[in-house]
Amino acid sequence: METRKLKIAIFGGSGYGGSELLRILLFHPNAEIVLVTANEHAGKAVGEAHKNLSGLTDLRFEKAPEDLSALENFDVAFFALPHGQALKLVPQMPDSVKVIDLSGDFRIGDAEIFRKFYKLERDVNDLQKQFVYGLTETNREAIKGANYIANPGCFATATLLALAPVVKGGLLTGKIIVDAKTGSSGSGAKAAANTHHPQRMNSFYAYKPFEHQHVPEIEQHLREVGTFKNDFVFMTHSLPVSRGIFASVYLETTNILTNKDLKNLYEHFYKDSFFVRIVEGSPDINWVKTTNFCDIAAHSNGKQIAVFAAIDNLVKGAAGQAVQNMNLMFGFDEKTSLIFAGSNP
């Protein structure tokens, strides 16, 4: 067993992505968080902002260093910042430090598409080409050798894990409809009108019809996984729970697949993937909340197929998968520090 401790920096420790990175990495046997930044909380104890961590760490938030070359003896840096910030910081990082970016800044290869969906200019497209898309289960070998990881979006993770076996198998025909739903933590740690409790607790609504920024990374990665030229409809909705993503994926296959065929297909595809569980009936976000699991069920009506995938948006959809990727990049078991159970209830 590798026993050394990686020196870790977390940029953006006060949001929910940072909160979950801290929750996981503080208990990682091979990790030492040396720096965690949060400009507005600089000097404050981590356990004061994330009271769940009170009593569990003496770490304090710091301002990001002016000169990032000072981080040269770090092993890895996580960026859990709002879109557009890693774009400026990562180019300043010493080459010796591996980078895992949880934002969308480096996910999209095509600069034009990036500009369209993110409304940001990216003048570091050469750097972007060095980024490996961090969907662990479909990209494991590339991740092992990567120095730069673009960690997938939460919706993209659930959708891609639901689609990969079918696309890889070359079984897909016709259009795909993805009806995706997210919990309120997907909107981040800052209070806003759409997460105001009195209204949100009784709400369900759609948003960003046909325009969600996860669409291009899903399409791009499906083309990496297999042949993909299909019409793709992706619709996001807001759920009145704190955590969780549920994707209902509707598709057709070239051959008729029975429920049993589907089960075999998915179980085989994910046979070496501890964190994907093929379940009966339907997954439920209740069973994956706070965990790194993705639960999947697939059903056939003969011609029509429905695949359901559930994850925790902040764990498998963000910080958990980021640590899973870190584990692979440094030769650790990918499950290290990620085998924790959700709870019942």
CA angle (82, 117, 150) in 5-degree steps: 55
Active site includes 294?
A: no
- Return the range that interacts with a copy of itself (CB under 8 A); candidates 84-92, 111-119, 160-168, 277-285: 277-285
SS3 185: helix
Residue from 60, 83, 168, 277 touching a copy of itself (CB under 8 A): that is 277
Site for a copy of itself in 240-259 (CB under 8 A): 240-244, 246, 248, 250
Q: What angle do CA 55, 61, 65 make, to 5 degrees?
A: 155
Tell me which stretch binds a copy of itself (CB under 8 A): 122-130, 156-164, 165-173, 228-236: 228-236
- Determine if 92 is a binding residue for a copy of itself (CB under 8 A): no
Asked if 270 touches a copy of itself (CB under 8 A), the answer is no
Confirm or reject binding of residue 175 to a copy of itself (CB under 8 A): yes
In the complex, minimum distance from the CB of residue 259 to a copy of itself, in angstroms, rounded to a whole number? 9
Angle between the 136-144 and 214-225 helix axes, to the nearest 10 degrees?
70
Interface pattern 291-320 for a copy of itself (x via CB under 8 A) = x-x---x-x-x-xx-x-x-x----------
**What gap in Å lies between CA 113 and CA 199, rounded to an integer?**
34
Considering the rule CB under 8 A, would residue 26 count as an interface residue with a copy of itself?
yes
**What kind and span of H or E run contains 181?**
strand 172-182
Q: Which is nearer to a copy of itself, 148 or 293 (CB)?
A: 293
CB of 230 to a copy of itself, least distance (A): 12
C-alpha pair distances (Å), 8 with each of 31, 72, 93, 199, 236: 7, 11, 13, 39, 34
Handedness of CA 26, 30, 35, 36 (dihedral sign): negative
- Which structure tokens are listed for 146? 């990567």
List, by residue number, the catalytic residues.
Answer: 154
